Amino acid sequence: MKLFRLTIIMVLTIQLFSCKKGDTDATPTNIKTSAIVGKWNYLRDSVNYFRNGVLVHSQVGKYTKGEIMQFNADGTGIDGTLIFTYTLTGDKLHMKYPKQKDREAEENMPKTLVLTSNKLTLLYGDPTDRKDTYYIFLSR
């Protein structure tokens, strides 16, 4: 099963890098905030590590059943036990975590969203620049 998952990740990575940087037919998706409002269950995450532009390692992590991220219509949310605020512009999600008990304030870099009816992927980084990328996969 582990080999199957790694194979899928490698195939997806190759597909992501098969696009040229100069391709202009890709347009940012305009995702409405209402489309992400609600509870999302964490499924897994994936990190791709690069050295000198070459993929050297992929790592997949799993979450415990019941771990969620919730987006509210008012621009607030809950990530496990942490509260946050968010803005969504096109397909870019910007999240801010205020100072909380035992945790300093944190502002995350914008994440690219890929959304289907029941799956949400948060992508940190740009897979075409061949630098480290981090994906979080969620489902309704």
% of the chain residues with pLDDT over 90: 42
Q: What domain range includes position 101? A: 36-139
- Provide the domain count of the chain: 1
Whether residue 78 lies inside any domain: the answer is yes
| Parallel, antiparallel or unpaired: strands 119-124 and 92-97 | unpaired
User: Is the model's pTM score more than 0.75?
Assistant: no
Whether residue 2 lies inside any domain: the answer is no
Nearest to 124 by CA among 37, 27, 14, 47: 47
Whether residue 10 lies inside any domain: the answer is no
> What are the pLDDT digits (tens) for 26-73?
455 789 999 999 999 999 999 999 888 888 999 999 888 899 999 999
Whether residue 19 lies inside any domain: the answer is no
CATH number of 105's domain:
2.40.128
In angstroms, rounded to a whole number, what is the distance separating the alpha carbons of residues 42 and 138?
Answer: 5
> What are the pLDDT digits (tens) for 109-118?
788 999 988 9
Whether residue 28 lies inside any domain: the answer is no
Whether residue 115 lies inside any domain: the answer is yes
Whether residue 31 lies inside any domain: the answer is no
Whether residue 106 lies inside any domain: the answer is yes
